[in-house]
Amino acid sequence: MSIEVKNLTHIYGKNGPYEKVAVDNVSCTFEDGEFIGMIGHTGSGKSTLVQHLNGILKPTEGTVIYNGIDIFDKNTDLRKIRQEVGMVFQYPESQLFEETVYKDIAFGLNNYGIKGDEADIKIHNAAKMVDLDYDLLQKSPFELSGGQKRRVALAGVIAMEPKVLILDEPAAGLDPAGRISVLESIKNLHLTRGITVILVSHSMEDMAKYASKLVVMNKGKLELTGSPKEVFKNQKQLFEMGLDVPNMCKVLAKVRALGFDVPESVFDVEETAQVLCEILRREKC
C-alpha cells in the first residue's frame, strides 16, 4: 500500500505566454503509515505536487499510482480515491460556509451519501480527534478563533476516515498555542489510526519534531529525500535553496566550528543536550 509519484510534470498555462513548469519530472514513493514532511521555498511546487495525489490537478506528464491503481486512468473511480486520500488545503478556513460547525463537518460525508446516525457518530468522533469541544458544534464557524476554524476544516476531512491525510501548511498563521494544538492532533491521528500523513510546512522545527521522512522541493524538482537526520546533514545545500535547518543544527554547527567533534545528524533538543554534556565532561578531564 503506497502512493507512487512517477515522472510527474505539471505545467500551468502550457504553450501560453505565462507558461510555468511548477513540477518538473518528480518521482517518489510515500509508503503506508509514514509521516512525510514536504519542505521547499515559496513557489517550489509543493502545493501543485500534493494536489495531484488525489487527482485535484491532472499532470501534464507522468502519473500517480495509489495502491497499484493509476489514479489518472479513465476507468479509475476518483471519488473513491478522494475518500481515502483526504486533503486539507492551505488556509482551509476560507472554505467554511455552513451555518453551523456540525453542518460544515457533515458536508463531505453527506456528499458521499453518509447521513443520519452514521454521520452523527463520525462527526462526533472527528471533533473529538481534533480536540474540538462538542459545545462548538452548533455554533457558526465564523464565531470561532483561527485555530478552532482550522480544526473544523480538519475534522471535515477526518470524518471521512481517510487512509492518507495531506495537509498543506495546516499551522500557517496560527499563534504558537494554536499551532501546537493542530499539529499534536495530527500526530495523534497518525499514531492512533495509523494514517499516512503528508505535511507541507515551512517550519523546520515542526519537521524535526513530527516527520519520519522528508521530501525537499526546489524550483519544481525533488532535490533531497530521506530521514530528517539524512536531510538536515546537507546544511549547505539547504541554505543554497533558501531553506533553514532546525535551531539545534545551527547551535551544533557553531560548536563544530570551534573544533569539537560533533555528529552531523543531530537536530533535536534532547540529543543536542547530550552531545553538549559529553563535550563538557571531556573538556573537564
Nearest to ligand ATP of 83, 201 (CB atom): 201
> Of the candidates 26, 122, 27, 124, which has an alpha carbon nearest to the alpha carbon of residue 83?
122
DSSP, res 93:
G
DSSP, res 120:
H
- How big is the CA angle at 146 (ends 145 and 151), to the nearest 5 degrees? 95
- How far is 52 from 48, CA to CA, in rounded Å? 7
Q: Does 148 bind ligand ATP (CB under 6 A)?
A: no
171: number of Cβ within 10 Å:
22
Binding partner of residue 22 among ligand ATP, Mg ion, none, CB cut-off 5 to 8 Å per kind: ligand ATP
State the minimum distance, in angstroms, from the CB of residue 56 to Mg ion. Answer: 13
State the SS3 of 203-247: CHHHHHHHCCEEEEEECCEEEEEECHHHHHCCHHHHHHCCCCCCH
Binding partner of residue 72 among ligand ATP, Mg ion, none, CB cut-off 5 to 8 Å per kind: none
The single residue listed with the C-alpha cell 485555530 is 147
Q: Does 40 bind ligand ATP (CB under 6 A)?
A: yes
- How far is 160 from 166, CA to CA, in rounded Å? 13
Nearest to Mg ion of 47, 148 (CB atom): 47
Positions in 42-61 near ligand ATP (CB under 6 A): 42-48
Q: Does 181 bind Mg ion (CB under 5 A)?
A: no
- How far is 236 from 234, CA to CA, in rounded Å? 6
- How far is 14 from 2, CA to CA, in rounded Å? 30
Q: Does 47 bind Mg ion (CB under 5 A)?
A: yes
Give the total of residues touching ligand ATP (CB under 6 A): 12
State the minimum distance, in angstroms, from the CB of residue 48 to Mg ion. Answer: 8
Residue 255 in contact with residue 276, Cβ under 8 Å? yes
> Of the candidates 182, 209, 212, 208, which has an alpha carbon nearest to the alpha carbon of residue 197?
212
Nearest to Mg ion of 194, 242 (CB atom): 242
Q: Which residue is nearest to Mg ion (CB)?
A: 47
State the minimum distance, in angstroms, from the CB of residue 17 to ligand ATP. Answer: 12
Nearest to ligand ATP of 122, 150 (CB atom): 150
State the minimum distance, in angstroms, from the CB of residue 90 to Mg ion. Answer: 5
State the minimum distance, in angstroms, from the CB of residue 202 to ligand ATP. Answer: 7
Nearest to ligand ATP of 85, 129 (CB atom): 85
Q: Does 22 bind ligand ATP (CB under 6 A)?
A: yes
Positions in 60-89 near ligand ATP (CB under 6 A): none
Q: Does 201 bind Mg ion (CB under 5 A)?
A: no
Which residues of this chain interact with Mg ion, rule CB under 5 A? 47
Which residues of this chain interact with ligand ATP, rule CB under 6 A? 12-13, 20, 22, 40, 42-48
